[in-house]
Amino acid sequence: MITLQTRELEPGYIVAQDIITKKGQIIAPAGTELSKQLIGRLSFYRIDSVTIEDPVPAEELLDGDELIAALELLAPSEEEPEEKKEEPPKDTPKKEEPPKEKEVINDTISYSNRLKAAPEYQEFQIDYSKALVTLENTFTDIIENNGANYSRSGLLQSIEPLYRSKTSLDILTYIHNLQGNDDSVYAHSINVALVSRAIGKWLKMNRDDLDDLTLAGLLHDIGKVNIPDEILNKSGKLTDEEFEMIKKHPLDGRKMLKQCSKIDSRYLNAALQHHERSDGSGYPRGLEDDEIDDFASIVAIADVYDAMTATRTYRSALSPFEVIAAFENDGLSKYRTKYILTFLERMAFAYQNSLVMLSDGRRGRVVYLHRSKLSRPIVELPDKSILDLSREPGINIISIL
């Protein structure tokens, strides 16, 4: 291990000891891989030095969807919740007097602390833990007893408290703050179910279809249960044999679910096809566009989104706008057009008026979104000047404050 000044750090270095601010906030846990964006955040939080391990060659890192890491979802929502309106806590500084850098840091920390202390969040944690137990028991029953005790209504009832009386972005914010507590297949499945439901709401699906879409997301990855944890959680590049084992889980999942009597065929399709892509580049069958089930197409977006926003100790985080950029650069050809466009637009507009940190160290507020390039909005700087990121390819939004 060696200790370097922040200015000496380079992308690819591995953090050897937790990086902690003077306020006690963990910016990056030990094992995190440094990126350009994360190094920029260290400067922002005035971290002078970092203890690192020997650099890891880039070719040894995991590639694929999971290379994109955690996303901070701290913005307030404008969406109507299901059944009951319930506004999340807001902590947006007044526009006419942008806060100083120290105030922004304190506001960000205090928002997270207040959220975690809120009764609504704590209740969500409890309900989430209960849903995990129910889902694990359901998977075990399907695998060992051919789904003898499978109950659509019972499974739906277990997850329903997680979205009842909450907006979609409330839920995404809660999920983000839970990340790192449990990265199991069960937690991932619950997250995908909730994100899938959010997309379904944005698409204005009826209640019955929303419920079935939620359950399709909940059951989509059952085929992964029999894959060893050391392969699922491997930090290095998978061998060809390991990747072939991973690629079998959609087929295994469909086979397992098919044992349940009267199970909806869309659940089977979601399990089988959530890694298919509209351009034919997916697996296991290389299906294209309309050959892929609608539910599977939506679950696929939610599945990749959760992989993008999942906390991993050996990966650094991308900002929401970097995640949107990744989909813009790759997703429009790989995912069903109307679904991915709806998803990207709703996610981007959720961060309208949010305070952001730029890759050059400046901060500002998102004041306008380009529909043709959602990841590169117009930002108002503290001196009231305007920066159009669509004309500044070298500057990115690296975090939401």
DSSP 260: S
Number of H helices, E strands in the chain: 14, 9
Residue 319: pLDDT band (50, 70, 90) is: confident
pLDDT given for residue 223 in this prediction: 96
How confident is the model over 291-302, as pLDDT tens digits? 999 999 999 999
Over range 329-351, report the average pLDDT. 87
CB atoms within 10 A of CB 366: 22
pTM of the full structure? 0.71
What whole-number distance in Å separates Cα of residue 367 and Cα of residue 128?
35
Question: Using an 8 Å Cβ cutoff, are 307 and 360 in contact?
Answer: no
Residue 5 inside a domain? The answer is no
| Number of domains observed in the structure of the chain | 1
Q: Which of 12-16, 37-41, 284-288, 323-327 has maximum average pLDDT? A: 284-288
pLDDT given for residue 369 in this prediction: 93
194, exposed or middle or buried, with CB in 10 Å at 0-12, 13-18, 19+? buried
pLDDT given for residue 191 in this prediction: 94
Q: Measured on CA atoms in the order 366, 370, 371, 375, is the torsion positive or negative?
A: negative
How confident is the model over 250-262, as pLDDT tens digits? 999 999 999 998 8
CATH number at residue 88: 1.10.3210.10
pLDDT given for residue 210 in this prediction: 97
Question: Using an 8 Å Cβ cutoff, are 33 and 271 in contact?
Answer: no
What whole-number distance in Å separates Cα of residue 382 and Cα of residue 100?
9
Residue 156 inside a domain? The answer is yes
Over range 50-67, report the average pLDDT. 49
With H, G, I as helix, E, B as strand and everything else as coil, classify residue 290.
helix
Q: Which range among 23-32, 267-276, 295-304, 357-366 shows the weakest confidence by mean pLDDT?
A: 23-32
What whole-number distance in Å separates Cα of residue 327 and Cα of residue 332?
7
What whole-number distance in Å separates Cα of residue 118 and Cα of residue 279?
44
Question: Using an 8 Å Cβ cutoff, are 102 and 44 in contact?
Answer: no
With H, G, I as helix, E, B as strand and everything else as coil, classify residue 342.
helix
Over range 156-181, report the average pLDDT. 83
Output the furthest CA–CA distance in the chain (Å, rounded). Answer: 65
How confident is the model over 206-239, as pLDDT tens digits? 999 999 999 999 999 999 998 988 888 787 888 9
Please determine, for residue 100, whether its predicted confidence score (pLDDT) is greater than 70.
no
How confident is the model over 181-203, as pLDDT tens digits? 556 899 999 999 999 999 999 99
How confident is the model over 109-152, as pLDDT tens digits? 445 677 778 889 999 999 999 999 999 999 999 999 998 989 99
Residue 92 inside a domain? The answer is yes
Over range 14-21, report the average pLDDT. 83
Please determine, for residue 86, whether its predicted confidence score (pLDDT) is greater than 60.
no
Residue 138 inside a domain? The answer is yes
Question: Using an 8 Å Cβ cutoff, are 165 and 86 in contact?
Answer: yes
20: its two tokens: 């902690």
> What backbone torsions phi and psi does residue 2 show, to the nearest 5 degrees?
-135, 155
Residue 97: pLDDT band (50, 70, 90) is: very low
pLDDT given for residue 42 in this prediction: 77
Residue 346 inside a domain? The answer is yes
Return mean pLDDT, the chain: 81
Residue 269, CA distances (Å) to 73, 262, 265 in order? 30, 14, 6
Residue 357, CA distances (Å) to 14, 40, 368, 397 in order? 23, 9, 16, 6
Residue 359 inside a domain? The answer is no
Please determine, for residue 22, whether its predicted confidence score (pLDDT) is greater than 80.
no
6: its two tokens: 């922040």
Please determine, for residue 76, whether its predicted confidence score (pLDDT) is greater than 80.
no
Residue 314 inside a domain? The answer is no
293, exposed or middle or buried, with CB in 10 Å at 0-12, 13-18, 19+? buried
Residue span of the structural domain in which 224 resides: 73-308+329-350
Render 177-200 in DSSP notation, one character per residue: HHTTS--SHHHHHHHHHHHHHHHH
Contacts 24+ apart (CB under 8 A), 280-286: 281/334, 282/334, 283/247, 283/250, 284/247, 284/248, 284/250, 284/251
Question: Using an 8 Å Cβ cutoff, are 12 and 33 in contact?
Answer: yes
Render 375-393 in DSSP notation, one character per residue: EEEEEE-TTS-EEEGGG-T
CB atoms within 10 A of CB 199: 25
CB atoms within 10 A of CB 197: 27
pLDDT given for residue 171 in this prediction: 86
With H, G, I as helix, E, B as strand and everything else as coil, classify residue 343.
helix
Residue 392 inside a domain? The answer is no
Contacts 24+ apart (CB under 8 A), 231-237: 232/185, 233/183, 234/62, 235/61, 235/62, 235/312, 235/314, 236/60, 236/61, 236/62, 237/59, 237/60, 237/61, 237/62, 237/63
pLDDT given for residue 195 in this prediction: 94
